Structure 1
């Protein structure tokens, strides 16, 4: 019995040594004090309630086995709202997780860097099980969640983005000096997004990986976007907008969306095992060496379309790059008007529609897709299985 008591006491001592501190906070100042103290294994618990005028930078550093956790006391009962001019939460450290928070009815302004959550230069940080609903961007091209800087291996997962207004939902920000590496965006729900009110209905993507396809599309981000659901996402023509290279889009579901999964810029991306049902389109492709495999596309005007460009390859500059050297294999296309269109936007004239000083590109979209391989695709119940418009 004596030895058993010693063993139990030793075990309890070990477990107590493993447990971190728990800081319960109910104001920005209390949160800052807790964040300044927090170390690996600690938790910062935000008390249930409604919060406005909250701005915070969090430079906590956990470990792979003992992350710093910032969480709601009760998921769904910690709600942030009101005007947002600076990041509500900006994570700049390592192995920090933020979970269970709700952002509802926020008005986000660009001038001072307004954003709901930003992972900036962070590594192995995570946003999970948070809800973003009925938040409005008050400036065009403004995201509500951002991964930016020279960070790596950050994750956004199991979050809900519902009925947000005039905004981009989630952005991986790429500049000439900083490309976040190996971001993972998975198991999120994007739902009921109305068309944006901005000029030419642009700036309403659900997910955007890169912002400048013309000059920075060759930057490699190696982001993975997988196992997400997109339902009635009608913000603009691009539900997902790829504008960088080396990314993967795997096993996502698109239902009744007024937009497409778009390779707007960049090269060497994988588009695999995604499902599209209803809506205005499936997969749109510019750029080179993309692999498009095992996708299911049902009830669309066009399942997959390979686009004309102003230039070709990875070294020429063009506002659009012609689709080339892509593999389109093992896709199942059914009940579409056109299954695969090779050569869309032929001879489209972009004169006066973009800044040729900023983007030294030809304005005529007259370079045809080339060297693309179509094999083992199953196309049924479709008026025109394959249309070639390359000449």
Structure 2
């Protein structure tokens, strides 16, 4: 038996429908252009009968204008947002001007939505956020195109709150220009955790898979990993001015990704990462394993030296260097970060160690494997 369908065309109407909706019900937002929506949805469906909030026609429900609080904040369970378009939005940080936030939600989903030409008015500002103590939420089959000075998808990790088992899959990220912020920071497409120094050991168990990143030039980290236990599987990168970066954290899997053209491939700090079955082509360096200020999972350092990583069965071609073991040797960060906020030595003088290379195919390169850890 089909659930009830509620047709809405204002935030008040949607909020009212959400207070009475039950598993299997559907809320349909009428086609049109909308501004100034701020809706908290605390509905609870079931795995068999999720609650659906959808556009009347995909692509014809369009949100724009200034955003000072989340346009949609999902706080319940088994609730799905689908078919919505966000374009020309100006997002502000003060009160959390996200376009969508999944906060403490469980088994909620954002699918088939479009985010285009949205502008972050403050640095380090994401447009889609998974936060709180959420579990098993999903962002999939969405398009992120030509967004400006922002982060697209963020898994927000704090000392007390970690969203776990998030799935970010089958999205397209493309045509992202370099951010205008100082030192060109704050323009990741996907960021899992924000504090690699003090919170990098938090385990988020996020999976990022089957996404496409085309001409993503926001900053040097297209994907920024700053937590532990995450999986990056079967993603495709083309002509990006940035890398897939293990900036912090440990015990991550990087498997079966493809990199073609651009400024780099995979960059590794931290311990016990597994880098397998990746294809890297036409890059300056395929895989970089970095020096740090400290080592292991208990020492504190602004960067943790790469260690105990397995690099197996990767195919690297048409690079200047296939695998570089020991990048940023003795890099001096004195005065470049707040040592009160991030208690760390400032020189990267701890070399990578216990790196295992097995059955990698490296062809058409100037230097197959370079050791700079001596």
Q: TM-score range by the shorter chain?
A: over 0.9
- Corresponding residue for residue 270 of structure 2: 287
- Corresponding residue for residue 300 of structure 2: 317
Q: Secondary structure at the match of 2:17?
A: helix
1:37-70 C-alpha deviation (Å, 9 max, x unpaired): 1110000000000000010000000000000000
Report 1:266-281 matches (<5 A).
266-281=249-264
- Corresponding residue for residue 42 of structure 2: 59
- Corresponding residue for residue 136 of structure 2: 153
1:145-204 C-alpha deviation (Å, 9 max, x unpaired): 000000100000000000000000000000000000100000000000000000000000
More helix as a share of residues: 1
Shift of 1:298: 0.2
Shift of 1:29: 1.0
Shift of 1:263: 0.1
Q: Distance in 1 between matches of 2:301 and 2:11?
A: 47
Question: How many residues end up aligned between the 2 structures?
Answer: 374
Pick from 336, 345, 349 the counterpart of residue 332 of structure 2.
349
Q: Distance in 2 between matches of 1:275 and 1:321?
A: 25
Q: Distance in 1 between matches of 2:231 and 2:94?
A: 32
5+ residue gaps in structure 2? none
Report 1:1-391 matches (<5 A).
18-391=1-374
1:189-248 C-alpha deviation (Å, 9 max, x unpaired): 000000000000000000000000000000000000000000000000000000000000
Q: Distance in 1 between matches of 2:96 and 2:192?
A: 19
What TM-score, normalized by structure 2, do the two folds share? 1.00
Structure number with greater Rg is 1
5+ residue gaps in structure 1? 1-17
Q: Distance in 1 between matches of 2:258 and 2:96?
A: 35
Q: Distance in 1 between matches of 2:173 and 2:333?
A: 32
Q: Distance in 2 between matches of 1:163 and 1:201?
A: 16
1:332-367 C-alpha deviation (Å, 9 max, x unpaired): 000001000000000000111111111111101000
Q: Distance in 2 between matches of 1:71 and 1:27?
A: 13
- Corresponding residue for residue 15 of structure 1: none
What TM-score, normalized by structure 1, do the two folds share? 0.95
Q: Distance in 2 between matches of 1:73 and 1:124?
A: 23
1:96-115 C-alpha deviation (Å, 9 max, x unpaired): 00000000000000001100
Question: Aligned-residue CA RMSD in angstroms?
Answer: 0.4
1:9-33 C-alpha deviation (Å, 9 max, x unpaired): xxxxxxxxx2100000011111111
